[in-house]
Structure 1
Amino acid sequence: MVGQQSGARVALVTGGASGIGRAVVEDLARHGHRVVVLDHEEPREPLPDGTALVLGDVRSAADNERAVRTAVEAHGGLDVLVGNAGIHDGGVGLRDRPAAELAELARRVLDVDVVGYLLAARAAAEPLLERRGAMVFTLSDASYVVRGNGSGVAYAMAKHAAVGLVRHLAADLAPRVRVNAVAPGGVLTGLRAAVGAEGSAEVFGDPDGISAVIRDFNPLRVVLTPAQLAPLYRFLASDDAHGMTGEVLRPDGGLDVR
């Protein structure tokens, strides 16, 4: 049990209303966690019974603090932070947009995918330190692979930066809090791409076509589901991973040996 606390463990999941985050929420709840979700929108389907939803923006320090406070006030503390909320760049390359538009896109992706993680970690640090908890972040194959996976320059920047954030937090918060990550590849989710100042568009608009591309791209020829990834988050948050910090699990079909 994380932190050696009696009773159910308490987890906060950002971006937990859909996609990988939703699968993690369901898996944690099914295994006895009390879960709080921070998301900017209502889920399409009801969250598991007992799961609290905090509507807010991960780019806001106040909203992250409110989500942590909800968990602490409702359940007496916090054991696990899953930083998962993210946005894609739509595969935009260096020369695909005028400089000003490219900079705007990069700032938005970095604000959600990196600064959002930083603010969640800052808000959750003290209660996690108190209970010797764990942080688990969602990275991407784009944290390591920069061509052929649909990533643009802004998304690759953000996901590489998030690796540095995970490693820094792991060093900063040791020995009381472990910080690890999962870097999936080839997973069909509801991930959306930034469009303009606040708009977004589907990334996986053609699931069958994209599934074929994913299978051709990875050595294992697999297309993973969010539900298949969720147990990895639970493992990293548990005492079964008590000797791991600053590590990244890469369920991507073997891209490193491609």
Structure 2
Amino acid sequence: MAVDGGRRAAREPVAVVTGGASGIGRAVVADLAAHGYRIAVLDRDLPEDHGIPEDRDGDRVRWVAGDVRDPDAHDRVVDLAHSRFGGLDLFVGNAGVHDGGIGVRDLDGAALAEVARHVLDVDVVGYLLGARAAAGPLTDSGGSMVFTLSDASYLVRGNGAGIAYAAAKHAALGVVRHLAADLAPAVRVNAVAPGGVVTGLRTTDGRHVFAGADEITAAVRELNPLGVVLRPEQIAPLYRLLASPAAAGMTGEVLRPDGGLSVR
């Protein structure tokens, strides 16, 4: 059964997740699979085994290789969800890229423009394209969208975000709010804005943002009032919550598991 508060289908719920091969996205895929979802995943870099332990019957997760900046990639993963699993109930927009913490004076003009365009294309335009592809099927099912934001959607200093990443995540918050108004009442649109989560997030040139895990962990603990470093698997159930009947009255909202950064 579809699990949203809208129209229900006599089948298991179906999700599309972008950026589902690693980090928070991978944890979301695993959590959804463990709770009865069938999932089509779009990612540029697919895992070598193309599987997760939670996919016990080997038929809960299907993978599509593609770039979220490509409209056709979104169409293909949504079409796969329909053809393989019979519909769509949840779209999770999660794929993202970081700017490495750059300031406006750190690069020359051409280099800054290149980084900014890359980050905005992936972190904002990628969300728009995914929402466009999923909006029709989700309207039919009465489903929902959940997007990954960041503490950088609210904070601009002290969290490692550079100017391009902060701009993109602030813009993505606007995307969530606009979609929530635009697609109501048929589709609910919400977001999760983690902070202090060490993942495999990469910069535009492929470097790991959280290289040197011990130093990063110590810095994160010192940064947030709760002194916690959250794991992706601790964040993942929030996406399922936002797609559930328990959140039937929520749209345009953002859950902020950030260790208390917002009250610092």
Structure 1 length normalisation: TM-score?
Answer: 0.97
Which of residues 101, 111, 115 is equivalent to 1:101?
111
Verify: 1:8 aligned to 2:18, yes or no: no
1:253 is aligned to 2:259: yes
Match of 1:38 among 39, 42, 52: 42
Return the alpha-carbon distance in structure 2 between the equivalents of residues 257 and 158 of structure 1. Answer: 22
The code of the aligned residue for 1:20 comes to I
Query: Where do 1:62-77 residues align within 5 Å?
Result: 62-77=72-87
Q: CA deviation at 1:236?
A: 0.3
For 1:115 and 1:193, how far apart are their aligned partners in 2? Answer: 17
1:135 aligns with 2:145: yes
1:179 and 2:189 matched: yes
What SS class does the counterpart of residue 186 from structure 2 fall into?
A: coil
Cα distance between partner residues in 2 of 1:167 and 1:132: 18
The sequence identity of aligned pairs, in percent, is: 64
- What is the one-letter code of the residue matched to 1:236? L
CA separation in 2, counterparts of 1:230 and 1:71? 20
Structure 2 spans left out of the alignment, 5+ residues: none
Counterpart Cα distance in 1 of 2:91 and 2:119: 21
Correspondence 1:238 to 2:244: yes
Q: SS where residue 101 of structure 2 aligns?
A: coil
Distance in 2 (CA, whole Å) between partners of 1:13 and 1:52 is: 10
* Matched residue SS, 2:220: helix
SS at match of 1:202: coil
Q: Which residue of 2 aligns with 1:159?
A: 169
Task: State which of 23, 33, 56 in structure 2 corresponds to 1:19.
Answer: 23
Report what 1:145 is aligned to. Answer: 155
Aligned partner of residue 176 in structure 2, secondary structure: helix
Partner of 1:122: 132
Structure 1 segments (4+ residues) deviating >4 Å: none
C-alpha deviations, 1:173-223, integer Å up to 9, x for none?
00010000000000010100112xxxx111111111000000110000000
Residue 40 of structure 1 aligns to which amino acid in structure 2? R
CA distance in 2, matches of 1:123, 1:193: 26
Q: Match for 1:213: what amino acid?
A: A
User: Aligned residues, how many?
Assistant: 254
Q: Does 1:216 pair with 2:222?
A: yes
What's the offset of the Cα at 1:7?
A: 2.0
Question: What secondary structure, in the 3-state scheme, does the structure 2 residue paired with 1:194 have?
Answer: coil
TM-score, structure 2 normalization: 0.95
| Counterpart amino acid of residue 160 in structure 2 | G
Shift of 1:44: 4.3
What is the CA–CA distance in structure 1 between the aligned matches of 2:239 and 2:125, rounded to whole Å?
21
